[in-house]
């Protein structure tokens, strides 16, 4: 990790902040992107004097491109770009509005696309680099129905990630593209969800942001295509898609817990 330049979006709290502190402690130099300046600068201070806090909104292509230019001016290059910023929602499919759906796609999928497209020319020029997209178990399996549009956006992000990885494989084998799939994480995520909802910090069984950050740091050091942050998660996904009838699987835990109240 020593000397790597790592850009992390959504770095003012939660997984992004935990990752920034972890990798900077291992010798990486970090550029930290988020909208909340006070919180972002506090994280940067904990990461050391070389940390670069950049106040930016990931849903703006221009701001993302500007932060990349500033990062290159400071550090000379980028080794890893982590698309971590995202937002949840609390609405069933039957309740979604156009604005709900557009917001989820913009923040959780399109913003990551902006990051990928911004840094890709730099990586191609160097013929090396690593894009890490923080997805979700909800991008694989429908276990929280009220997060419907968030789930859809993460499915879209997974597809973009896999397609980019395959696009680059032949001509740019030194550029890695990874999806990371956390489950429930004890952060402010739930409290900030569109239309409110349960606070993720109070959901039993949630991982800490630090636990998830360790998995992301491991995949930065030893790149892999697709990573789950907790034991058993990948096996659950495999069982769901291998079933002759997914509808039968959806009648069993943990899927039954996702049903709305009658």
Can you give the CATH number for the domain in which 11 is found? 3.40.50.720
Structure confidence by residue, pLDDT tens digits, 211-245: 999 999 999 999 999 999 999 999 999 999 999 99
Helix, strand, or coil (residue 36): coil
Is position 238 within any domain?
Answer: no
pLDDT at 19 over 70: yes
Structure confidence by residue, pLDDT tens digits, 147-205: 999 999 999 999 999 999 999 999 999 999 999 999 989 777 878 899 987 666 656 66
Q: What is the DSSP letter of 89?
A: B
Is position 243 within any domain?
Answer: no
* CA distances, 25 to each of 38, 58, 222, 251 (Å): 21, 25, 18, 45
Structure confidence by residue, pLDDT tens digits, 40-85: 999 999 999 999 999 999 999 999 999 999 999 999 999 999 999 9
pLDDT at 135 over 60: yes
Catalytic site residues?
150
Residues forming a β-bridge with 91:
147
Is position 249 within any domain?
Answer: no
Token look-up 């604005």 returns 99
What number of other Cβ atoms are within 10 A of residue 198's Cβ?
14
Please give the residue range of the domain that contains residue 110: 5-232
Tokens found for residue 211: 């636990």
The count of structural domains within the chain is 1
C-alpha span between 195 and 100 (Å, rounded):
9
**Predicted pLDDT at 192:** 81
What number of other Cβ atoms are within 10 A of residue 187's Cβ?
23
């Amino acid at each position: 990790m020593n000397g790597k330049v790592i850009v992390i979006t959504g770095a003012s709290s939660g997984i992004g902040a935990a990752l920034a502190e972890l990798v900077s402690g291992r010798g990486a130099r970090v550029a930290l992107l988020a909208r909340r300046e006070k919180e972002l600068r506090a994280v940067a201070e904990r990461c050391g004097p070389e940390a670069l806090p950049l106040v930016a909104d990931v849903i703006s292509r221009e701001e993302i491109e500007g932060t990349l230019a500033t990062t290159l001016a400071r550090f000379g290059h980028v080794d890893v770009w982590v698309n971590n910023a995202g937002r949840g929602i609390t609405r069933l499919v039957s309740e979604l509005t156009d604005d709900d759906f557009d917001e989820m796609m913009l923040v959780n999928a399109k913003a990551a696309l902006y990051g990928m497209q911004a840094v890709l020319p730099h990586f191609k020029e160097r013929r090396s680099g690593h894009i890490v997209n923080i997805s979700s178990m909800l991008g694989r399996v429908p276990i929280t129905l009220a997060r419907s549009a968030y789930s859809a956006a993460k499915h879209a992000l997974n597809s973009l990630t896999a397609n980019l990885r395959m696009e680059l494989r032949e001509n740019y084998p030194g550029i890695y593209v990874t999806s990371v799939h956390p489950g429930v994480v004890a952060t402010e995520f739930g409290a900030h969800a569109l239309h409110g909802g349960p606070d993720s910090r109070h959901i039993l069984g949630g991982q800490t942001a630090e636990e998830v950050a360790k998995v992301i740091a491991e995949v930065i050091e030893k790149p892999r295509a697709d990573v789950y942050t907790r034991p058993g998660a990948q096996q659950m996904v495999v069982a769901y898609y291998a079933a002759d009838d997914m509808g039968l699987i959806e009648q069993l835990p943990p899927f039954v817990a996702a049903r709305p109240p009658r």
